[in-house]
Amino acid sequence: MARTSPLCRERRDRREGDVSFSFRIVAQQPDTSARAAAMTTGHGEVHTPAFMPVGTQGTVKTLSPGELEEAGVQIVLSNAYHLYLRPGTEVIEQAGGLHSFIGWNHPILTDSGGYQVFSLADLNMVSEEGVTFQSHLDGSRHLFTPEKTMSIQHDLGADIIMCLDECTNYPCSRGEAQASAELTLRWAQRCRQAHARLNAVQDRRQALFGIVQGSTYADVRAHSARALAEMDLPGYALGGLSVGEPKTAMYEMIDATMPYLPADKPRYLMGVGMPEDLVEAVSRGVDLFDCVIPTRNARNGSVFTHQGQLVVKNAEYARDFQPIDAACGCYTCRHFSRAYLRHLFQAGEILAPRLATLHSVHFFMELMKQMREAILEGRFLAWRREFLHQYRGSLKNGDQDMGAQRNPFIGGEI
């Protein structure tokens, strides 16, 4: 890869630090690393800590953009891998970009597709150049290089775009974790350069985030974070977590990484998670999250309440005329009973996953809002104690088998 000239370098740096993206910490909770911030993008501000519902294929499954707005969603995640394969990047570019295509005039983050290539696609083969894979839709062969994923994400036009990374499975050996983290670093450098070249032609004011890897090895993660931080990217993500490791390992890896990420940049924990994980990670200084849990579980008849998860499709709710969560003000809880939801699930009605998803997304948004307000008012520690006490004194066990194979509404979100 040719070195960039000092002039190009300056130009690129200026563009990467474009006024259209900024991150400003507005409060810090003493005795924790929790902070509240304002993240500005070309499509508006995101108040962090924030949770991004997952809109894999250009729609947060079952919900309309209007419903997302009403639930308080500030930013959604979408997926370069899926959109590249279907409907194709050109269609979305012709539509005027992803915001216009999906009718969402607020911030969007696109993942590079690295995670999907490794988890969904067939026959993926990694080389220094990139990853070759077969589409999970039609078996067609494709090559994702760092440069290619930048080009795709440039065309899609999300406000935040992600570097191509290699996501390791759990467990993985120290050697594999090191090799994978190193490859991810080299790819990040190439992404940074490709992004700068694309911006030199047409600057879409996108913020490129790097991704820390290193599996469950604290020193590998520390090294990965340090090296990424030197690239001076506008934000950093923790990848390769929530892939099967124990929760304690996940918390340890967050702790091992945080000291090496610049405090004045956003930190994004990818693919997390359960409400208790969000609380723990916010305590440790994470600002941004995405996860399929609220939406996928809802489609499967399991919804979140302040007392834990509740499998509303179960027979025990057939004559329960209470709302899902009496403390919730969402459209579902204002208008419908658990008995009606249970009936809709039994009858296989599309309104079932719709109303359940609407509730759970609202629940996650309220959770983030409560954390932010607690941080702003300096009472996050007390809030956390109370929330976890109530939540863990759970009505239902959230870890039961959801019978995902038998449910027609599930579909794929990753």
Binding interface with a second copy (CB under 8 A): 57-59, 61-66, 86-87, 91, 94-96, 101-103, 318-319, 321, 331, 335-337, 339-340, 342-344, 346-351, 353-355, 408-409, 411
Judged by beta carbon, residue 169 or residue 346, the one nearer a second copy is: 346
Distance of closest approach, residue 301 Cβ to a second copy, in angstroms: 15
Asked if 290 is an active-site residue, the reply is yes
Asked if 138 is an active-site residue, the reply is no
Q: Whole-angstrom Cα distance, residue 221 to residue 211? A: 10
Q: What residues pair up with 141 in beta bridges, in sequence order?
A: 134
Q: And the tokens for 408? A: 């027609």
Distance of closest approach, residue 204 Cβ to a second copy, in angstroms: 19
Distance of closest approach, residue 62 Cβ to a second copy, in angstroms: 4
Backbone angles phi, psi at 28, to 5 degrees: -135, 130
> DSSP letters along 122-175, please?
EEEEE-SS-EEEE-TTT--EEEE-HHHHHHHHHHHT-SEEE---PPPPSS--HH
Distance of closest approach, residue 296 Cβ to a second copy, in angstroms: 13
Judged by beta carbon, residue 262 or residue 411, the one nearer a second copy is: 411
Judged by beta carbon, residue 142 or residue 354, the one nearer a second copy is: 354
Judged by beta carbon, residue 3 or residue 334, the one nearer a second copy is: 334
Residues 6+ apart with CB under 8 A from 358: 62, 63, 67, 71, 330, 331, 332
Q: And the tokens for 47? A: 């108040």
Catalytic residue (one of 111, 155, 277, 325):
111
Distance of closest approach, residue 156 Cβ to a second copy, in angstroms: 13
Q: Whole-angstrom Cα distance, residue 290 to residue 349? A: 27
Catalytic residue (one of 138, 290, 325, 399):
290
Judged by beta carbon, residue 79 or residue 242, the one nearer a second copy is: 79
User: Do the bridges between strand 207-212 and strand 235-238 make them parallel or antiparallel, or are there none, so unpaired?
Assistant: parallel
Q: What residues pair up with 272 in beta bridges, in sequence order?
A: 290
- Enumerate the active-site residues: 111, 290
